[in-house]
Amino acid sequence: MIERIRCNLIVVVSVLKNKVKRLLYGGKVVIGTWVTINSIDVVEALSRVGLDWLLFDMEHGSLEVSDIQRLLPATNGTDTVPLVRVPWNDFVTIKRVLDMGVYGVMVPWVNTRESAEAVIKAVTYPPHGIRGFGPRRAVYYGLESSTEYFKRISDEILVVVQIETGDAINNIDEILSVKGIDVAFIGPYDLSANLEIFGEVEHPKFKSAVEKVLNSCKRKGVVPGMAALSVNDAMDAIKMGFKFVSIGYDIFDLTKIYRSNVEEIRRYLSFLT
């Protein structure tokens, strides 16, 4: 009887709730950063600095499913929500990372309504989707109620699609018409490269594309997101109306800080001589 009571208490206390999703739909800005360094220490440190979310990058980072499984517990006990960028719009990878208990997925290269529909099918259980049921760590290996998880998960998982090509811009209204898409996310370098103006974020072609995304998000009730590599870029994105905003990139920020420190010491040494 005591063991049964303990298990019931666990079920009540541990129900999945996605803070980021609630903040976004309350009109708030959420900030996060990218995780590419395969280190528990890095994840643990970043999840305790006040970020709303961490996004584990499987597309350009070296992280695999087994790495994320090992790193995720480092976010436990914090207010920082773990998300994953999968390497491709592949339902097998999507269901595997969701089964580990992440609170959302970012999917690259979503260029059409059909590809957006494929994303929603991958994150959703039948009858609306094709996700197979086996949420391992997501229900703490059976210590939580699988039935409760099944009922709530569609409301808790954050679905982010990347808008990074000219085709995606042209099809933006159709893409964002798909029910279940929460965030349309722009990576400035990917989008500008595919528009053949790499890095020219002040180019009229790039600005026009960004404006189309912002306007479509307003019409369709989808949150606009933007990647920023500096605090100033993040603040500019927020001023434009973006709500899901990254501030930096773990390995880039690490190298920038050390390069700046080294250069400062070199200048000091040069002055001494």
Catalytic residues: 60
The residue whose two tokens read 């709530």 is 152
Q: For the CA atoms of the chain, what is the radius of gyration?
A: 20
Structure tokens, 189: 């370098």
| Contact between 117 and 97 (Cβ < 8 Å) | no
Beta-strand relationship, 81-85 and 104-107? parallel
Q: Give the Cα separation of 273 and 271 in Å (integer).
A: 5
CA distances 65 to 33, 77, 103, 239, 248, Å, are 19, 22, 15, 36, 23
The residue type at 263: E
Q: Alpha-carbon distance 216 to 210, whole Å?
A: 10
